[in-house]
């Protein structure tokens, strides 16, 4: 279940609150391989995106029928892992690998990006966690003196990075990145930019809903997505000891 968030602009006079607020849309893949956006939120409660906000969001998703979650992929949202652990204690939180790489480049000179990417690849393609730790030690030996912030970034993210290394190739291929939701983000942003401003949060949510409906009017995209997930679903069922099959009942 990836989750993303960004800001929409609404009118203070219409809402009585701040003209900007977080807009959030988690989406999930079901036990049958179908994807769906679980809900849309826009600037609710006015308490930002800390642990309390995410706990409220995830609790509502659970109460709406999502009894079990195998894995949640996110990009370092503050307070999110703690909220996940409280709502679905068995769920695994996985950091988006692509976001981790992008964040690493922020601390490095552009001329070193290619070399850093090359030296990090053995870390996130390692066969096991132990092997990944050895490859990371090699990376740190090469780059820590020049870019200590990159080493600290990976060390801080390591607990949410390592689950990725325990899975089969079929699962790794699909959980490397949150690119699917980033693609949806791009669609939303283009449409919202063209629209400009919304009189109320409800108007903004309706606009986003219409964007979602327009993405796959024939349903063919949904079928292609389901077919793509078949190998991964089998791997998930084995890895998570039948919890996926239980979700189909």
For residue 103 the two structure tokens come to 């964040």
pTM, to two decimals:
0.73
Average pLDDT over residues 181-186: 77
- Same structural domain for residues 14 and 91? yes
- Same structural domain for residues 29 and 90? yes
Last residue within a domain, chosen from 124, 142, 167: 167
Summarize pLDDT for 79-105 with one digit per residue, the tens.
888 889 999 999 988 888 888 999 999
What are the CA-CA distances from residue 53 to residues 21, 23, 56, 118, 132 (Å)?
Answer: 12, 12, 5, 37, 34
Residue closest to 98 by CA, chosen among 167, 188, 187, 174 = 174
Asked if pLDDT for residue 106 goes beyond 90, the answer is: yes
Asked if pLDDT for residue 3 goes beyond 80, the answer is: no
Asked if pLDDT for residue 46 goes beyond 70, the answer is: no
**Residue 51, domain extent:** 1-95+177-249
- Same structural domain for residues 40 and 146? no
Summarize pLDDT for 63-76 with one digit per residue, the tens.
988 889 988 888 76
- Same structural domain for residues 209 and 160? no
- Same structural domain for residues 9 and 82? yes
Between 211 and 248, name the one with better pLDDT. Answer: 211
With cut-offs at 50, 70 and 90, classify the pLDDT of residue 22: low
- Asked if residue 21 belongs to a domain, the reply is yes
Asked if pLDDT for residue 20 goes beyond 60, the answer is: no
Query: What integer pLDDT is reported at residue 48 of this predicted model?
Result: 57
- Same structural domain for residues 135 and 155? yes
- Same structural domain for residues 108 and 89? no
Buried-exposed string 104-131: b where 16+ CB fall within 10 A, e elsewhere: beebbeeebeeebeebbeebbebeeeee
**What is the residue whose two structure tokens read 């066969």?**
127
- Asked if residue 172 belongs to a domain, the reply is no
Taking the C-alpha atoms of residue 2 and residue 215, their distance in angstroms, rounded to an integer, is 18
- Same structural domain for residues 21 and 71? yes
- Same structural domain for residues 203 and 108? no
Between 74 and 147, name the one with better pLDDT. Answer: 147
- Asked if residue 208 belongs to a domain, the reply is yes
Average pLDDT over residues 130-140: 95
Query: What integer pLDDT is reported at residue 25 of this predicted model?
Result: 74
Query: What integer pLDDT is reported at residue 49 of this predicted model?
Result: 64
Mean pLDDT of the chain: 80
Query: What integer pLDDT is reported at residue 182 of this predicted model?
Result: 73
Query: What integer pLDDT is reported at residue 216 of this predicted model?
Result: 76
Summarize pLDDT for 190-246 with one digit per residue, the tens.
888 887 777 877 888 888 888 888 877 777 777 777 777 777 788 888 888 888 887
- Same structural domain for residues 53 and 13? yes
Query: What integer pLDDT is reported at residue 44 of this predicted model?
Result: 55
- Same structural domain for residues 121 and 37? no
């Amino acid at each position: 279940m990836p989750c993303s968030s960004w800001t929409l602009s609404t009118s203070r006079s219409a809402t009585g609150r701040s003209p900007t607020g977080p807009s959030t849309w988690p989406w999930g893949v079901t036990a049958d391989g179908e994807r769906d956006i679980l809900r849309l939120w826009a600037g609710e409660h006015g308490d930002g995106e800390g642990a309390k906000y995410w706990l409220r969001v995830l609790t509502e998703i659970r109460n709406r029928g999502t009894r079990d979650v195998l894995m949640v992929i996110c990009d370092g949202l503050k307070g999110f892992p703690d909220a996940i652990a409280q709502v679905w204690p068995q769920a695994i939180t996985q950091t988006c690998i692509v976001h981790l790489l992008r964040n690493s480049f922020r601390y490095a000179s552009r001329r070193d990006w290619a070399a850093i990417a090359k030296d990090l690849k053995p870390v996130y393609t390692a066969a096991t966690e132990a092997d990944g730790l050895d490859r990371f030690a090699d990376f740190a030996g090469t780059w820590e003196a020049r870019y200590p912030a990159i080493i600290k970034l990976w060390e801080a993210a390591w607990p949410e990075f390592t689950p990725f290394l325990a899975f089969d190739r079929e699962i790794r291929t699909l959980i490397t990145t949150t690119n699917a939701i980033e693609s949806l983000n791009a669609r939303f942003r283009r449409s919202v930019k063209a629209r400009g401003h919304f009189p109320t949060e409800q108007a903004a949510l309706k606009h986003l809903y219409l964007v979602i409906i327009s993405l796959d009017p024939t349903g063919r995209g949904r079928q292609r997505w389901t077919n793509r997930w078949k190998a991964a679903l089998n791997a998930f069922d084995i890895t998570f000891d039948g919890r996926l099959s239980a979700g189909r009942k």
